[in-house]
Amino acid sequence: MTSIPTRESELERTVLEPLRRTPTGFYLVIAGLGLVMLTGVAALFNQWYLGLGMTGLNRPVYWGIYLTNFVFFIGISHAGTLISAILRVTQAEWRRPITRIAEAITFFALILGLLQIWIDMGRPERILFPFLFGRFQSPFLWDFTCVGVYLMSSMLYLYLPMIPDLARMRDRMTDAPRWRRWLYTLMSFGWHGNAEQRRRLEVAIGIIAIVIIPVAVSVHTVVSWIFGMTMQPMWHSTILGPYFVVGAIFSGIAMLFVFMTLVRRAWHFEKWIGPKQYNYLGLLLLVMSAFWGYFTLAEFLTTGYATLTHETEVLHAKLTGEYAPAFWIMVVGNLVIPFAILVRRNGRTPVGTFFASLSILVGMWVERFLIVAPSLTRPSLGLLPAVYTPSLTEVAITAGSLALFALLFLLFFKVFPAISVWEVEEGEEVDAIQPKARELAHAAD
């Protein structure tokens, strides 16, 4: 890492290839995603022009799929924290090729999460309200503070391990367009890569990796408290905090699987993102699925046994009422399909984990929806029960948000390498030295 090798390695060549060459398919994907995103933007302008009332969001159902998307995206953002920070702290070597993808997912998911709140506020200028009128007793203010800190931490955590690679690109990609060379020079932050600078970088990455874990846990706990601090049926529960955190890590790993599999296939990273990553991460996904099942059972069983009038109404709406199809899609998506695929070793392959993860992402989005909407349709403060059906505007904005998320990810990795080259090289050095070190240790014994 310290001095840049004179000749490009196979890894470097493969990783830099998507940055140097742009196939037609890339433009087609960008155009398709851009079209969906623009539809969402048009729907958003229409909503601003006509007012939030045109979506039908009003008392008692004042939160709909925008809040569902917010909780979903904030959950996805836990991918980077878990995979990168926890595995880095525990020195799991197999993490090296996938950390950057995980960190980028975190950063872009957070931006999309915050965007949902802005959309849900109804007017663009209201984004200033938490700064101007936020009351410190309100979980909204706690949330705004935690998410803000998490966003800054994630940005830095994505950026720090990129510095040596950026310096390499500054020196290597001399034929790149001028704006890109300027960007690499600016972002490499005067990196010369001597021993002291490398030591300082590793200390800084270590500090952020440790700091970001409690920050991430606090973020999703506080997101749950937005619901948990109110007296709505099935929201006012102490289990909501850990339930949200478990769901966040679960969906974060699933999103990582989807993106890393697509990137691996499109950019031919098969040599570096291989069976080890799919097996270990697949096992982690299976464990998180079991955790999620345990929390769901605990939540529903205790609510069912207490038979409190308002809570039971919501529970019945979920289990056997109008939300029952969604409930069973959630159970099948989060438990049945992942278990059926991932429990066997030959299921933890790129194809197996990809489909299990897609199923989990659908299941987790539905889970977020089932937390937000049903409780509001059965108000406990004398308002009449209501029905919530997402409007076309909300659906268009949701589709636009998902397209924007994918678009940001793709464009980012068109400019920056998707695999941390210096970290993978360092891992290869460690792998090469380890057998010799073991031999020496045996000889000394």
Partner 1 sequence: MAHWFFDTPTIGSIIVFAVAISVFIAYFRMLRWIQSAPPDSRPEAETPKTDVEK
Binding site for partner 1 (CB under 8 A): 2-3, 91, 130-138, 141, 144-145, 148-149, 152-153, 156, 160, 163, 189-192, 194-201, 204, 207-208, 426, 429-430, 433-434, 437
Closest CB to partner 1 among residues 157, 278: 157
Nearer to partner 1, 150 or 354 (CB): 150
User: Least distance from C-beta 389 to partner 1, angstroms?
Assistant: 35
Please check whether residue 149 is in contact with residue 167, taking contact to mean a CB–CB distance below 8 angstroms.
no
Cβ neighbors of 382 (< 8 A, separation 6 or more) are none
Residue closer to partner 1 by CB (options 199, 344) is 199
Alpha carbon separation from 298 to 123, 243, 305, 358 (Å, rounded): 39, 10, 11, 25
Considering the complex, what minimum distance in angstroms separates the CB of residue 157 from partner 1?
10
Q: DSSP states of 416-436 as a string? A: S-SS-HHHHHHHHHHHHHHHH
Q: Is the dihedral of CA 224, 88, 112, 329 positive or negative?
A: negative
CB nearer partner 1, residue 163 or residue 373: 163
Closest separation in Å from C-beta 156 to partner 1: 5
Q: What angle is formed at CA 252 by the lines to CA 248 and CA 254, rounded to 5 degrees?
A: 120
Length of the chain, in residues? 445
Could you tell me the smallest distance in angstroms from the CB atom of residue 153 to partner 1? 7
> Smaller CB distance to partner 1: residue 64 or 161?
161
State the alpha helices, DSSP H only, in 229-273.
240-267
C-alpha–C-alpha distance, residues 348 and 368, integer Å: 26
Pick the closer one to partner 1 by CB: 136 or 179: 136
Minimum gap (Å) between residue 203 Cβ and partner 1: 9
How far are the Cα atoms of 83, 91, 95, 203 from residue 283, in angstroms, in the given order? 13, 18, 14, 30
Q: Choose between 220 and 348: whose C-beta lies nearer to partner 1.
A: 220
Write 320-326 long-range contacts (CB < 8 A, 24+): 322/387, 323/370, 323/373, 323/374, 326/366, 326/369, 326/370
CB of 64 to partner 1, least distance (A): 26
For the chain, what is the radius of gyration of the CA atoms?
23
Return the number of the residue (75 or 161) whose C-beta is nearest partner 1.
Answer: 161
CB of 437 to partner 1, least distance (A): 5
Q: How far apart are the first and last CA of the chain?
A: 33
Q: Minimum distance between the CB of residue 51 and partner 1, rounded to whole angstroms?
A: 25
